[in-house]
Amino acid sequence: MIRYQIGSRSPTAHYFDLLIEIATPNLDGQVLRLPNWLPGSYLIRDFSRHLLDLQAQTHDRTLAIEQLDKSSWQLEPCDTAISVRYRVYAKDLSVRGAHLDHSHGYFNGSCVFLEVVGQGEQPCEVLIEKPDPEFAQSWQLATSLPRRTEAQQQPSQADDFGVHLAQDYDDLIDHPVEMGHFTRIGFEACGVPHEIILSGRFDCDEARLAQDLQRICEHHIRFFGEPAPMDYYQFQVRVVGEGYGGLEHRASTSLIARRDSLPQKGVAAVDDDYRDFLGLCSHEYFHTWNVKRIKPAAYQPYDLRHEVYTELLWAFEGITSYYDDLALIRCGLIEQSSYLELLAQTVTRVQRGLGRTRQTAAESSFNCWTKFYQQDENAANAIVSYYAKGCLIALCIDLKLRAVTQGAKSLDDVMRCLWLSYREEGGGVNDGDIERIVNQLADQDLNPFLHQLIHATSELPLVELLATVGVDAQPRAAAHSRDRGGKNITEDLPKVDFAAGLKDEVGGLKVLRLAESGSAQLAGLAAGDSIIAVDGLRLNLPQFEKKQLRANVGDRWRVHAFRRDELEVFEVELQAVAQTTYFLRPDNAKNEQRRVWLQQDARAAD
């Protein structure tokens, strides 16, 4: 048993104070190591840069410490129990970090708990203390780590700080902890207690939120089959003015959500903001199976010292992205038109970028560390998202399986096969495993089709496959810079495209990014330029878009822009707008196939 203790004497300095008690250290000199990344977020984050004041002691002496690399340390050999103390600076409010101030505390174990190398399999106890200052005395604690004193499946009843248990180090760092003042909302899904922890300032319809999340959770549990793989689950939601994101864990998820995306009291409709929030919750909850348990073989176990490569993120993020919104219609939270709008937005995201012609979904997965997670202004030209393209690959596999088996099999069966195989054999998913399952279910060789989806940059067969469920995919021009696609807009569509992402700034417009070989780039404009005049006039973004709406192909604009502090003039010849914004509409054919695919009515009544 390794004993950890975390508290804070000075939250306003943003320090967590850590203590580790190692009863039987390695006699050659115990090594301690902090992860350099955390599962679910594929970027080297070097959490050790926030670690300070490291000391180690036995009952009667201080041990010498030798640093081995950026995130590991070796203690002087000794044969008695050791206490290790250190502090961690916590000022990252993202779901991937640790944060502590006068208002609340939050941490991912990966940011704060040193691993006792060689003893990672041992069970751990962690005493989570209330921070010292007066203002923290009324704080509560929320985590999916079970309390030592309670029955293991009832951490929800322990509102207090105290000793929690983890099966091993891997478990210890997979339960983020929130402390402060928050609202707890409980519900059951298929007999499993769930809680929503809402922190930050908000005003929302809490009963509605619980009711809607319950439907999503029950849908996912039944999708993979009861019983659920966890005996308790927690949605930790940090409510902010602006922000969005989530990170999956084995029995919880940490989310950042906009205040406006929570359900408003007295409003029954699911507006676009709330739909996004429900989709995010659905996404992270689906991960409880797909990536937290069914996972790439390369992640078994996670090597948190350096990058771990897999070509399979398209399946773990893409299939999850496919089912997150599909679950919303399947459990009756949104209508068909709303679902098709979301799907069309994903089609639009992929089709708008030239990156889809350069990078395959497998390559996007493999290079996530340096490309997807480190996007710059050229990203849309250079890479494709394994989330968005992965979602469309999942759609293609689903519709193809339904078509070739006359509706007898679908991607749902692929996921259940993967789940069954995980439960029966454990082990991870290797390259080619998903293709093998699809071929078995189809009872034919679909390898050329699957290879084209996953390992090629050719266009996806979306139009043909959507037609098999009576959905017509139509491209059009983007109406304006906020147009994400999904809606059938026929009026006020521009004929030309300046082909640059712009935002308002004092005195004009900032160029954020440019489409490769688009009008603005061919004229010489670059990301970072500040446009101060077009044809001699200063414009804000709405005025710029109005001007673009009136322009014709071949028109020339004289653009004055600062590059750094040097004024430049560019002659921009406007090219025709690309038809890469999509909307989807049911075409009144194949109504039965579409109904079965979306499972409308079938599950809503549950």
Residues lying near Zn ion in the complex (CB under 5 A) are found at 317
Least distance CB 270 / Zn ion (angstroms): 21
Give 520-534 as a 3 state SS string. HHHHCCCCCCEEEEE
Least distance CB 290 / Zn ion (angstroms): 9
DSSP codes, 380-435? HHH---TTHHHHHHHHHHHHHHHHHTTTS--HHHHHHHHHHHHHHH---BPTTHHH
Which C-beta is closer to Zn ion: that of 177 or that of 281?
281
Which C-beta is closer to Zn ion: that of 263 or that of 390?
390
The strand pair at 192-199 and 233-240 is best described as: parallel
Among left, alpha and beta (phi > 0; psi -120 to 50; other), residue 589 is: beta
Letter for the amino acid at 21? Answer: E
Q: List the beta bridge partners of residue 575.
A: 497
Least distance CB 372 / Zn ion (angstroms): 12
Least distance CB 253 / Zn ion (angstroms): 10
Which C-beta is closer to Zn ion: that of 86 or that of 277?
277
Least distance CB 364 / Zn ion (angstroms): 14
Task: Tell the residue number behind the tokens 């340096």, with chain if given.
Answer: 370
Least distance CB 244 / Zn ion (angstroms): 13
Which of 305, 274, 309, 385 is closest to 46 using CA atoms? 305
Q: In this structure, what is the dihedral angle of CA atoms 144, 92, 484, 287, given to the nearest 10 degrees?
A: -20
Least distance CB 433 / Zn ion (angstroms): 20
Which C-beta is closer to Zn ion: that of 20 or that of 256?
256
Which residue is nearest to Zn ion, using beta carbons?
A: 317
Which C-beta is closer to Zn ion: that of 39 or that of 518?
39
Q: In this structure, what is the dihedral angle of CA atoms 524, 525, 529, 532, given to the nearest 10 degrees?
A: 110
Tokens encoding 306 = 């350096």
Tokens encoding 196 = 């929503």
Which C-beta is closer to Zn ion: that of 274 or that of 322?
322
Tokens encoding 115 = 């691993």
Least distance CB 257 / Zn ion (angstroms): 15
Which of 205, 196, 262 is closest to 233 using CA atoms? 196
Contact between residue 465 and residue 479 where contact means Cβ atoms under 8 Å apart: no
